[in-house]
Amino acid sequence: MDYDVLVVGGGTAGMESALTLGDMGYSVALVEKEPTIGGKMILLSKVFPTLDCASCIATPKMASTFHHPQVTTLTYTTIGGIAKTPRGTFEAKLERKATYVDFDKCTGCQKCELACTVAIPDQFNFGMVARRAAYIPFAQAVPKKAVLERYGTSPCTQACPAGIKAHGYVSLIRSGLHDEAMKLILEAVPFVGTLGRTCYAPCERACTRNELEGSVPIRTLKRYAADRYYQLHPQPEYGPPEDRHNERVAVVGAGPAGLTAAYHLARLGYPVTVFEAQEKPGGMLRLIPPFRLPTEVLERDIANVTALGVEIRTGQAVDDPSRLARQGFDAVFVATGTWKDSIPAIDGVDLEGVMGAVQFLTQVAAGNPPNVRGKTVLVAGGGRYGIALDCARTASRLGATRVVVQFRRSREELSSVEWAIEDALEEGVTIQFLRAPAKLVGVDGQLVRVESAEIRVGGRDVTGRVLPGSVGPGTESMEVDRMILAVGQDVGSAGGTSGLHTTPSHTIVIDPRTMETAIPGVFAGGDVVSGPSSVVEAIGLGSRAARCIDRFLRGQPRIRDDVDADLIAVEKSRTLTRQDHYTTLPRASRDLRPAAQRRTDFDEVELGVEEAAARQSAARCIDCGGCCECHQCISACPADAIDFGMRDQEQILEVGSVVVSTGFDLFDPVGKVQMGYGRFPNVITAMQMDRLLSPTRPYNTVLRPSDGKIPDNIAYILCTGSRDFQSDNQLCSRVCCMYTIKQAQLVMGALPLADVTIYFIDVRAFGKGFEEFYEQSKAMGVNFVKGKVAKVEQGDDGNLILQYEDISGEGKVVRTEHDLVILSVGLLPNREALSLFSGGALAPDAHHYVKETDEDLSPGQTSIEGVYVAGSASAAMDIPDTILHSGAAAALSAAYVERVKR
Amino acid sequence: MDRRLRDPREVIRDEMVMRDKVLAALENGPLTVPEIAESLGFPVHEVMYWVMAARKYGLIAEVKDPDDDYFQYELVKSE
């Protein structure tokens, strides 16, 4: 056996049971789902009828439990199931939630919580104030360690091919931490300004806010972070890292994949040399027209790489990359891209006036554009990456009279470039969907006409992938002077792949797990491996290549998929159910220069956003993952205790006996609509009032939640959700009368001028000293009114009007006004206890508490021999009764363990 | 008056964007929660969440003697 006894639940009953058993010499595992033990008692102000400080009683018991040599406390842990073995012992499956904090290092300094940028309702203050996603439950928590609340990876973050923490930087911008946002993005990529303008934003497609009114404008926020930072820092703030490795790395190709790999390798301390065939670095990014990506933004992005000491040798083509390995480079990364236009096999493609998109854009970028002034230009587009639209919009700016784009696909299939389609249409470009050139006709070798065919929608296969369309019967003829073919790109036979194993289409063959080619030490990635891809996908492969090369050079295991793994993305439905309702806000539209103005120049079309708009847009984020991975906690932690590599773990324990001490639930008065809870801020529960009266209260004193006013006329409504058939809880909760009287006395102490009225059916003061406690409160001036409150309404000033039947008077319906109403809510069974066991379920009693099979002679004995119930998991009871009951359960459990051991 | 309140989780989430505005409102001296709400143009019960969070995390503190029925809150001077 791993432990003699498993105690489930770390509240008063669980702690008492564990301590009793531990003192008897039994080994105990105490499991608690929250990050701290203490249950509800530690959250109370004082206890009745002695008015002793609850914290003063509970805290020593928490500490004794946690430090008891026989008790192992497992917080932040739930039970996946418990089954009885043939030997009479029990096998329990524990699910230990990752805390993402190394408890051995954490000092409980709370700096992570102060730095965290995600605000979440504080469950330990019953939602009256915020806590953070990184948090220590409260000052007296045991253990006093921080945990990071993570529900999974936010969908936006998981959707990013480049591994950018999208949720993180959105959260940082929301918090006004703009430099930090930029630095977080720079952790993943050097091309922040570029991606802020050109990315097709898979993050936005994944955004849960799409289920409401539209996604958070995540790409625009990235651009905001870059623009602001680049304005403040025309050059990078950093230089080469101080710690350097000796191994040298060569990168062939200074496009997005190559430079990203160089960036990460240089950050790791490797000397990196980049060989680029073109005259300037940037690769295909240089072909993106400046009205979408201004040259100075690209240059500044590239400076992020060169500032690290990366040497870029332009004008140096490398035909045989393996030669670099022989020249002393310890690793080589080939990322030469796809620079050859794919020319479709249709009649007339060799006519004058026909050219490929790469050829067209290369000539434009070199300052030597083809003459299209006064011409009709037809662009045949593949569609996915928007190159056809870049060509069309460029031709329009170069003076073409008419520009037409033909796509083989429908507009719905081109959703990744929808924004570019809209922009092009605004600028006067004609776009024909489901149409493709079939024949190019020339006169004297010069293109004069294009005949195009209708394309039928291809439908989708079982995986949802769009199938190629077929040619339909419809044809059309158009007079055309220039034609640009933007239907695809190839590596080409001169792609710098000599000596490497390639496919028939000249892409390099690699081991997808390591990105290594057949030649040891030579790696490849980006478009030269995958074929044409988006900028962000190429960047992502560059990042991955850097990790692979680092593992290779450090002699580490080559295949480590876990290193790159995120948590599972949080399901949108799960996120959305966290709130009862949402306020929808209009999605900020993209701010563009007027179409008439922009079609005549190459200045940037899309305008950025100002700080206020950026923060407001970021505030629409609904924090799907809980923790946003902004990494502020990592920066703030002086003990280096934050560990995002932690994962949930399962643990199997064999124990001799089980004590169920899962406590009770509180009645949620939201369902009693007539009481106004959840509708009127000044209607709160007694548990919330206990928090307001406690030393660790959410406010500075007892205040109205509606406006911070010090209340002076407070009402309590007893029996809310107990002794109530309508609420399916006909039981008396046994503690409400006394905790209400306790609070009334405490309020009169805290607010001497306040009037306190308690509306009751009858007061049950049955325990030792309870009647005296009741009489004492009356003597202090608490007003007791026998009357069942039927309805609570709210006035314009936030005051509340109670309507009740005056039972002790004339039986009339009476209306009274108060400025704060406390609902003395009842206790309910915690039904989770009943699902703990498999193969012989724990039997409930008639009220869904854990059934005690012999309440009179063996209190605590459940329907399963060896399983005992302690405290309010069996029935509503106060703290002294809970302590007694837990002792009984512990004794029974010890006796059973002795029998099992024999 | 029985308008539907915004979900508390949503209001609390806004703290991160509203915090600076609350602090800015207090730059000219202590204010009560209704006064802060008036200067920001947001519902008082929502501002209550943001003010109390700023207090919890040590950015503001109550002025010791309440002004009639309301406490005033002031910026905590950072060391």
Strands A249-252 and A813-818: unpaired
Q: How far is CA A891 from CA A4, A833, A843, A862, in A?
A: 13, 20, 21, 14
Give the pLDDT confidence of A366-397 residue by residue, as tens digits: 999 999 999 999 999 876 678 999 999 999 99
B49 contacts A578? CB cut-off 8 A: no
Least CB-CB distance to B33: which of A128, A618, A707? A707
DSSP A140: T
- The three-state secondary structure class of A391 is helix
Give the pLDDT confidence of A686-744 residue by residue, as tens digits: 999 999 999 999 999 999 999 999 999 999 999 999 998 888 889 999 999 999 999 99
Closest by CA position to A229, among listed A196, A260, A261: A196
ipTM of the complex: 0.96
Residue A819 and residue A677 share a domain: yes
* A786 burial type by CB count under 10 A (0-12 exposed, 13-18 middle, 19+ buried): middle
Mean residue pLDDT across chain A: 93
Strands A489-490 and A340-341: antiparallel
Backbone angles phi, psi at A666, to 5 degrees: -95, 145
Q: Tokens 């492969």 label which residue?
A: A541
And the tokens for A585? 């806000």
| Mean pLDDT, residues A473-500 | 84
- Nearest chain A residue (CA) to B32: A708
Residue A819 and residue A718 share a domain: yes
A699 contacts B12? CB cut-off 8 A: no
The alpha-carbon gap from B28 to the nearest alpha carbon of chain A, in Å, equals 20
pTM for this structure? 0.94
A700 contacts B55? CB cut-off 8 A: yes
Which residues in chain A have Cβ-Cβ distances shorter than 8 Å to B53?
119, 129-130
Q: How many CB pairs under 8 A join A and B?
A: 107
Least CB-CB distance to A619: which of B14, B45, B52? B14
Would you say how long chain B is, in residues?
Answer: 79
Mutate to test the interface with A, among B18, B36, B48, B71 (most CBs of A within 10 A): B48
Task: Let me know if residue A687 belongs to a domain.
Answer: yes
DSSP A298-339: HHHHHHHHHTTT-EEEET---S-HHHHHHTT-SEEEE-----
Residue A518 and residue A446 share a domain: no
Mutate to test the interface with A, among B22, B46, B52 (most CBs of A within 10 A): B52
- Nearest chain A residue (CA) to B54: A130
Backbone angles phi, psi at A395, to 5 degrees: -60, -40
Residue A804 and residue A718 share a domain: yes
User: Domain count of chain A?
Assistant: 4
Give the pLDDT confidence of B48-65 residue by residue, as tens digits: 999 999 999 999 999 987
Percent above pLDDT 90 for chain A: 83
Task: Let me know if residue A357 belongs to a domain.
Answer: yes
Residue A563 and residue A418 share a domain: no
pLDDT computed for residue A400 by the predictor:
97
Closest by CA position to A171, among listed A217, A114, A135, A118: A118
Which residues in chain A have Cβ-Cβ distances shorter than 8 Å to B13?
119-120, 619, 622-623
| Mean pLDDT, residues A750-763 | 94
The residue from A543, A568, A593 where one domain ends is A568
Least CB-CB distance to B62: which of A119, A680, A700? A700
Which residues in chain B have Cβ-Cβ distances shorter than 8 Å to A114?
57-58
B14 contacts A793? CB cut-off 8 A: no
Residue A764 and residue A776 share a domain: yes
The alpha-carbon gap from B67 to the nearest alpha carbon of chain A, in Å, equals 10
Residue A260 and residue A319 share a domain: yes
The residue from A568, A599, A624 where one domain ends is A568
The alpha-carbon gap from A67 to the nearest alpha carbon of chain B, in Å, equals 29
The answer to which of A33-37, A433-437, A501-505, A783-787 has the lowest mean pLDDT is: A501-505
A117 contacts B16? CB cut-off 8 A: yes
The alpha-carbon gap from A226 to the nearest alpha carbon of chain B, in Å, equals 20
The alpha-carbon gap from A714 to the nearest alpha carbon of chain B, in Å, equals 14
pLDDT computed for residue A108 by the predictor:
97
Least CB-CB distance to A679: which of B5, B66, B71? B5
H/E run at residue A205: helix A202-206
DSSP A434: S
Q: Tokens 């005690």 label which residue?
A: A852
Residue A455 and residue A329 share a domain: no
DSSP A14: H
Least CB-CB distance to A578: which of B9, B48, B52? B9
Task: Let me know if residue A408 belongs to a domain.
Answer: yes
B15 contacts A118? CB cut-off 8 A: no
Tell me which CATH code domain B8-75 carries: 1.10.10.10
Cα-Cα end-to-end distance for chain B: 45
- The three-state secondary structure class of A101 is strand
**In the predicted structure, residue A452 carries a pLDDT above the cut 50:** yes
**In the predicted structure, residue A659 carries a pLDDT above the cut 60:** yes
Residue A513 and residue A474 share a domain: no
The alpha-carbon gap from B45 to the nearest alpha carbon of chain A, in Å, equals 4
Residue A804 and residue A855 share a domain: no
- Nearest chain A residue (CA) to B57: A114
The residue from A775, A803, A827 where one domain ends is A827
Which residues in chain B have Cβ-Cβ distances shorter than 8 Å to A700?
55, 62, 71
**In the predicted structure, residue B2 carries a pLDDT above the cut 50:** no
DSSP A463-529: TSPBPPPEEEEEEEEEE-SEEEEES-EE--TTSS-TTS-B-TT-PBP-BTTTTB-SSTTEEE-THHH
**In the predicted structure, residue A469 carries a pLDDT above the cut 70:** no
Q: Is residue A563 very low, low, confident or very high in pLDDT (cuts 50, 70, 90)?
A: very low
B1 contacts A707? CB cut-off 8 A: no
The alpha-carbon gap from A474 to the nearest alpha carbon of chain B, in Å, equals 54
- Nearest chain A residue (CA) to B34: A707
**In the predicted structure, residue A568 carries a pLDDT above the cut 60:** yes
Task: Let me know if residue A296 belongs to a domain.
Answer: no
Residue A717 is part of which domain span?
669-827
- Nearest chain A residue (CA) to B13: A119
Partners of B46 in beta bridges: none
**In the predicted structure, residue A605 carries a pLDDT above the cut 70:** yes
Give the pLDDT confidence of A51-101 residue by residue, as tens digits: 999 999 999 999 999 999 999 999 999 999 999 999 999 999 999 999 999
Give the pLDDT confidence of A190-216 residue by residue, as tens digits: 999 999 999 999 999 999 999 999 999
Residue A546 and residue A479 share a domain: no
**CATH code of the domain in which A847 resides:** 3.50.50.60
B17 contacts A616? CB cut-off 8 A: yes
Give the pLDDT confidence of A494-504 residue by residue, as tens digits: 557 788 888 88
Peptide bond into A121 cis (omega under 30): no
DSSP A30-55: EE-SSSS--TTGGG-SEETTTTEEHH
And the tokens for A123? 């469950």
| Mean pLDDT, residues A153-174 | 96
Closest by CA position to A575, among listed A77, A161, A158, A174: A158
Least CB-CB distance to B16: which of A175, A794, A798? A175
**In the predicted structure, residue A584 carries a pLDDT above the cut 90:** no
pLDDT computed for residue A468 by the predictor:
62
Cα–Cα distance measured from residue A205 to residue A156, given in angstroms and rounded to the nearest whole number: 8
And the tokens for A421? 């389609």
The alpha-carbon gap from A688 to the nearest alpha carbon of chain B, in Å, equals 14
* A459 burial type by CB count under 10 A (0-12 exposed, 13-18 middle, 19+ buried): exposed
Which residues in chain B have Cβ-Cβ distances shorter than 8 Å to A706?
44-45, 48
Residue A332 and residue A266 share a domain: yes
Q: For the beta carbon of residue A253, count every other beta carbon within 10 angstroms.
A: 35
pLDDT computed for residue A462 by the predictor:
67
Which residues in chain A have Cβ-Cβ distances shorter than 8 Å to B14?
119, 619
